[in-house]
Structure 1
Amino acid sequence: MFKNVIYVIVAGLFSGAVSAQSSRASKSVIPVGTMLTLKKSFANYFPIGVSVSPSNLVGREAELIAQQFNSLTPENVMKFGPLHPEENRYNWGGADSVVAFAEANKMKVRGHTLIWHQQNPAWLFLDGKGDTVNKEVLLSRMKSHIETVVKRYKGRVYAWDVVNEALDDDSTRYLRNSAWFNICGEDFIEKAFQYAHQADPEAILFYNDYRTEHPERRERIYKLLKRLKDSGVPVHGVGLQGHWNLKDPSRQELVKTIDRFRSLGLQVQVTELDISVLPEKKDRDSTWLAAPDVYTAEIEQQHIAQYEQI
């Protein structure tokens, strides 16, 4: 999916240049050194990143990535299951290749993600008999994994999404009913940050989640982060997963979100960004389904306007 995001953003930024070039010979190109790129456009503000798999880092895709971006996030290869499929075996190939590509092209790397409720290996929560492990065993396995991974990339990965999506989707609940929570309670979040900080004291450690701009969910995330900060847990930032659309979030709610989390002394990063042109699921009625599936000029302008606002 990230390729679509790349091309949408690039198409929006270069639409004028493309139009101006259209009447010229097909071989006419803009010299790379003078070309407007995403990373150059925002160089004075923040890094521009993209999520990648090793297969994206060859050929023309690799050229585009190196040209436009100055930060990489591994899409899957640093997640617990793909990276640590068996208790005594790590699969370093994919993660190493992403970090090596970043270093070769003078790019930052954000590690994603150490602890999540999905993409965990089958062995993680079970003992040799197939029974669920206790809290002590699971925290020991967590510590071993985090220490091994973070120390391997110490000084090479500048930031980690330490815990990802710990909140429940049900607004009447607090934390997600995951295996981590069921076995360890809330302690798994605190311990994950402590273990990561011990492994690399210089790394910037993030809590990462989605729908952070929705007031109710925002306040639950704030409650979690404030408790961690008040307890002296080394959490340094919050990641906003920007799975947004043409109407959501509003500028007002996005600003409120950034200000709310910054009031805790946290860094705020947009860790994922895709703006859907589809209506909300509740609005995908028979009339919408019957309409032509066309990216109209009107939708294009709304799309560009939402990216510009963000």
Structure 2
Amino acid sequence: MNKLFSFFITAALISGCAGTRQIRSVTASLKDMYKNDFLIGAAVSWQQVEGKDPAAFNLISRQFNTITPENIMKEEELRPAWGEYDFSRADRFIDFAKAHHLQVNGHTLIWHSQMPAFARSIESVDSFRTFFTDHIRKVAGRYSGKVQSWDVVNEALNEDGTLRKSPFLNKLGDNYIADAFKLTNEVSPGTDLYYNDYNNEQPEKRAGCIALIKKIQQAGVRIDGVGIQGHWHVGKVPFKEIEESILEYAALGIKVAITELDIEVLPRNFTGAEVSQQMKTETNSNPYVKELPETVQKQIADDYGRLFKLLLKHKDKIARVTFWGVHDGQSWLNDWPIPGRTNYPLLFDRNGKPKPAFYSVIAASKR
């Protein structure tokens, strides 16, 4: 289907629909519409790899050309005990990607959260460094040539741009990030290497992120890109800061990726994606249990459309845009920062049907 025909179908659906109820089928593909611009991806769960999510099955290969393991490749998933590795699920994920002709972004080698329990109890600096070094060498080495990129280090910065006092910083010192990139490059030289964080489009944290990238570069260590996670809130997407960040990061000679994109619609009293933060359930905590009001549906569609127009403006600097989930039912925002809520942050609903936001993103490609 050519772009012009897709556009007419899209326009008819947008003008005629009242919410998602009248949208019957997907007539366009994100990966096709943006094939000359940047990769389009989604975070994929173990349930989806197993084929137990019918709503996602057809969407994954139809809509996306790259996938990220939502949890499958994190440290706690791969390291059941000291000296032991379990690659069974990660290997299945790689096989799934190959079978569906999808590129892979590995996520993530070094992250202070979702560490295996045994690693948190390591007291010896030498033993902790062994854990750190062996993990990178074994994991990145095993999947060398099988992943297109790695989020080498994830969320190492505080909101003010200083280094987070994680077990890695406390045990290994402030050179651990450059060391992680160096080790990954040694065992996986053909893989793009990224630093990934949330809120690093905000000026203070962005400045810290730029300083961190420069330090890695000045150490003579390869870093190919920075991931801006993109966990934003409807009606409050920081477009000005996003554009400034794209320009400033690209000026360092690296690629930019939007790595964990979702636009939240539920009330929250803080920004970002710090998984340790929680909120108490209140009367208005879960306002859209049955459906999303048309006004909010329109706002999230407008936000997504404006965002993709901005990304297209700087497509020469953008390598990839990855949504953090395939459809609303999978989204981590249903259970964080309050468990059991009904959120609507993605382009497809719980049945895998396209929302107005999907068609807004498709329409943005008509420039």
Report the equivalent of 1:100.
Answer: 95
Task: Decide whether aligned partners of structure 1 residues 18 and 254 sit closer, same or farther in structure 2, where only a CA change above 3 A counts.
Answer: closer
Secondary structure of the 2:230 match is strand
- Deviation of the 1:141 alpha carbon: 2.1
| Cα deviation digits, residues 94-143 of structure 1 (max 9, x gap) | 1111111110111100000000001111222445xxxx111x33222212
Compared CA separation, residues 282 and 152, structure 1 to 2 (3 A):
closer
CA contact (8 A) 1:53 1:98 kept: no
Which residue, 107, 124, 140 being the options, matches 2:130?
140
Contact 1:168–1:175 (CA under 8 A) maintained in structure 2:
yes
> For 1:187-222, what per-residue CA distance to the aligned partner results, in whole angstroms no more than 9, with x for missing partners?
211111011000011110000000012111111111
Instruction: After TM superposition, give the deviation of residue 245 of structure 1 in Å.
Output: 1.3
Query: What residue is the counterpart of 1:217 in the other structure?
Result: 205
Alpha-carbon distance change, 185 to 44 in structure 1, aligned in 2, over 3 angstroms? same
Matches within 5 A, 1:113-152: 113-127=108-122, 132-134=123-125, 136-152=126-142
Amino acid at match of 1:43: K
Q: Answer yes or no: is the 8 Å Cα contact 1:81–1:121 preserved in 2.
A: yes
Find out whether 1:178 has 2:170 as its counterpart: no
Amino acid at match of 1:56: Q
Match in the other structure for 1:300? 297
Q: Deviations over 1:15-53 (max 9, x none)?
A: 84488699xxx9xx87x8xx3111111111111111112
Residue-pair matches, total: 282
Match of 2:349 in 1: none
Within 2, Cα distance between the matches of 1:297 and 1:157? 40
Residue in 1 aligned with 2:65? 70
Q: Structure 1 residues 109 and 195, CA, compared in 2 at 3 Å: closer, same or farther?
A: same
- State TM-score, norm by structure 1: 0.83
Structure 2 CA distance for partners of 1:209 and 1:20, relative to 1, 3 Å: same
- Partner Cα distance (1:273, 1:146) in 2: 26
> 1 CA distance for matches of 2:285 and 2:76?
41
> Residues 153, 298 of structure 1: CA spacing in aligned structure 2 closer, same or farther, 3 A cutoff?
same
Shift in Å, 1:288: 8.9
Query: Counterpart in 2 of 1:161?
Result: 151
Residue identity opposite 2:149 in structure 1: A
After superposing the two structures, state which structure 1 stretch, 61-70 or 178-187, moved more: 61-70
Matched to 2:28, the amino acid is: L
Q: Distance in 2 between matches of 1:141 and 1:282?
A: 34
Greater share of helix: 1
CA distance in 2, matches of 1:16, 1:156: 41
TM alignment of 1:186-225, pairs within 5 A: 186-225=174-213
Report if aligned partners of 1:139, 1:188 keep a CA contact under 8 Å in 2.
no
Q: Secondary structure at the match of 2:177?
A: helix
Deviations along 1:231-288, one digit per CA (max 9) or x if unpaired, are 212111100111001233332211100011111111100011000123552799xx99
1:282–1:168 Cα change, 3 Å: closer
Structure 1, residues 141-184: CA drift from partner, whole Å, max 9, x if none?
21211111112111110100000000124x2x711111111111
- Computing the radius of gyration from Cα coordinates, the structure with the larger value is 1
Supply the distance in 2 between the matched residues of 1:257 and 1:139 (Cα, whole angstroms): 33
CA contact (8 A) 1:143 1:195 kept: yes
Secondary structure of 1:289's counterpart equals coil
Q: Is the 8 A contact 1:54 1:97 kept in 2?
A: no
Q: Which has the higher contact order (CA 8 A, sep 6+)?
A: 2
Task: Say whether the 8 Å CA contact 2:237–2:303 is kept in structure 1.
Answer: no
Matches within 5 A, 1:21-32: none
- Counterpart of 2:247, as a letter, is D
Supply the AA of the counterpart residue of 1:133: S
Contact in 1 for aligned 2:267/2:285 (Cα 8 Å):
no
What is the alpha-carbon root mean square deviation over aligned residues? 2.9
Counterpart in the other structure of 2:39: 47
Identical-pair percentage: 36
Letter in 1 for 2:259: T
Q: 1:17 to 1:177 in 2, by over 3 A?
A: same
Task: Call closer, same or farther: CA 1:21–1:98 in 2, change over 3 Å.
Answer: same
